[in-house]
Structure 1
Amino acid sequence: MSTMVLPRALTHTFILTGRALRGFIRFPMYLAMNLIQPVIWLLLFGQLFKSVVNIPGFTGGGDYLVFLTPGIVMMMALFGSTWAGTSYIQDMDRGVMERFLAAPTSRGALILATMLYQAVLTLVQTLVVLGVAWLAGARFHGGWLGIAVLLLSAVLLTFVFAAFSNAVALLARAQTALIGISQLISFPLMFLSSAIMDTGLSPQWVRTIARFNPFEWAVAAGRGALQGAPDWAAVWGDLGLLAALAVVMSWLAVRAFSSFQRSL
């Protein structure tokens, strides 16, 4: 029995991820709309705050654009993944979710497919942002390994908050509630981190909160890996925390799915 469950779950995951990607291919403007704000922030903040590197106590290196780019990548991953549950709300409203539940569809596959779909979007968007940053003059000394770790950090962050968004959607079952909760957590997580500003220049309470902020773990891991001489112990430590949290959030999303199914 167990030898048949895993292949079925993987097959369903592949099919459902393909379904989501086909919807994206039919509306590629979604990618462009998601990229507009991050690219504007990258170019605008990169110029407005480029003198920040001269402030005593700034530890982010001598090029603010290089410092900022990983933060923008993670902001994009965070904002996109917190909306992942929207697809569930739409499926509920259209009656598609009821058909999934009536069919022998793997419940885990329904969760994992949305996470993988968001991860694919995150990878594509991250590569575009890195290309824009390079054209704007940013040079990353971590090489291809550093870029690979940055991508991994962004994907793990996407998994964490896509799973969280799925759980919220399944429990709240309302688009307005999902939007409200997404907005409530996204901006505080972003500003209580080093995404835009070195936390060494922030008050002590911000530095304390940042140590427990999963968004900061992703930013720190990605930024650290892009340095010429990375502190790999710190980088892998942050990645390990993100991976563990992704597993916990995925488990919570599956539990939320079970609760949603029992309530029907």
Structure 2
Amino acid sequence: MSGAISTMSPETVPVAGGSARWALATHSRYLTMQSVRALLRQPFFVAISLVQPMIWLLLFGELFKRVAELPGFGASSYIDFLIPGIIVMNVLFGASWSGMTFIEMIGQGTMDRMLTTPLKRGALIIASLAYNSITIVVQTAIIFLVGWPLGATYTAPGILVSLAATILLTGAFCSISNAYALVLRSREALIGLSIMLALPLSFLSSALMSQGAAPDWIRSVSRFNPVDWAVVASREALSGSPDWGAVWAHLGYLAVIALLLGYLATRAFGSYQRSI
């Protein structure tokens, strides 16, 4: 997103009449579209960012495919089991780097220039979440397509639920990444946070392995893990006979954490404004 808005000046910010909410919506849409246009000019970025999840899908899908034959695993096909986990891990590893854009903007002085414009401050947060969500949805669709010839089976409602879960999880981890970036303003600190969050949360979930095969303490921890909430919601919705009560419950948990972390990011932006 930084490439799209770093060249903005007070004259380029659209004038939004009407209420403050209308102005926020107008500015958020403007920044999001600027970012999407920048992405369309460099589609290679989407392809490069998919290399890691494709390696996971092909490597783990082949390495652990016999695991589904174990008694009590809970799935007849490991590739069906794996697809939701790969999708969610892709969200986690992608969204955790969202704050790098803000750090780059702060370092270049772009953020301070933006604060001299009539731009609504919340639009920067909303546009970041929207842009990353759009990117993740495109990547998720590609992962679904790649999984199909490998033997994965899907249902239309399951795909829609998976997309909803990825958007909510993207919002949550983009928000915490942006908040951390605005408070500490350190590239190294954000890299440390991303690694600290991504790996433990992935392995303390059912992304790669059934919780039935996990120790009791991991099963207990996973109940409070947003990554596992997204995996469970997606996997259950994609199953042949989904428990929709469990699906909606886990989507609800994700919505709550996304809203809470979005509020945290907004407060962090206020802290940054007061510090300059």
Instruction: Please report the TM-score for the alignment, with normalisation by the length of structure 1.
Output: 0.96
- 1:75 counterpart SS class: helix
Residues 4/219 of structure 1: CA separation in 2 closer, same or farther (3 Å cut): same
What does residue 49 of structure 1 align with?
64
Q: Distance in 2 between matches of 1:24 and 1:95?
A: 22
Match of 1:167 in 2: 179
Match of 2:129 in 1: 115
Q: Aligned partners of 1:189, 1:23: CA distance in 2, in Å?
A: 31
Aligned with 1:102: secondary structure?
coil
- Separation in structure 2 between the aligned mates of residue 20 and residue 169 of structure 1, nearest angstrom: 19
Give the 3 Å change call, closer, same or farther, for CA 218–144 of structure 1 in structure 2. same
Deviation for aligned residue 1:67 = 0.2
Q: 1:28 aligns with which of 21, 38, 43?
A: 43
Q: Which residue of 1 aligns with 2:115?
A: 101
Deviation at residue 3 of structure 1 after TM alignment: 5.5
More off after superposition, 38-47 vs 65-74: 38-47
1:139 counterpart SS class = coil
Quote the offset at 1:71 in angstroms. Answer: 0.3
Task: Spell out, residue by residue over 1:207-241, the C-alpha distance to the aligned partner (whole angstroms, 9 max, x if none).
Answer: 00000000000000000000111100000000000
- Mapped partners of 1:26, 1:146: distance in 2: 31
**Distance (Å, rounded) in 2 between the aligned partners of 1:214 and 1:134:** 26
Identical-pair percentage: 46
Cα distance in 1 between the residues matched to 2:152 and 2:111: 45
Select which of 169, 180, 184 maps to 2:196: 184
Aligned partner of 1:158: which letter? T
Aligned residue identity for 1:19 = Q
Q: Could you tell me which amino acid in structure 2 is paired with residue 57 of structure 1?
A: G
Which of 140, 156, 166 is the matching residue for 1:126? 140
Structure 2 counterpart of 1:94, one-letter code: Q
Give 1 or 2: higher helix fraction: 1
Partner of 1:257: 269
Uncovered stretches (5+) of structure 2, i.e. residues with no partner: 1-16
Residue aligning to 1:136: 150
Out of 196, 204, 208, the position equivalent to 2:220 is: 208
After TM superposition, give the deviation of residue 57 of structure 1 in Å: 2.1
Matches of 2:255 and 2:138, distance apart in 1 = 21
Match of 1:9 in 2: 24
- CA apart distance, 1:145: 1.0
Deviation at 1:26, TM superposition (A): 2.5
Tell me which moved more, 184-193 or 102-111: 102-111
List structure 1 segments (4+ residues) > 3 angstroms apart after TM superposition.
none
Residue matched to 1:82: 96
SS of the aligned residue for 1:230 comes to coil
Per the TM alignment, residue 247 of structure 1 is displaced from its structure 2 partner at its CA by 0.5
CA RMSD of aligned residues (A): 1.1
1:116, CA displacement in angstroms?
0.5
Task: Tell me what 1:92 maps to.
Answer: 106
Which segment is superposed worse, 17-26 or 190-199? Answer: 17-26
CA–CA distance in 1 between the matches of 2:147 and 2:99?
A: 30
1:220 correspondence with 2:235: no
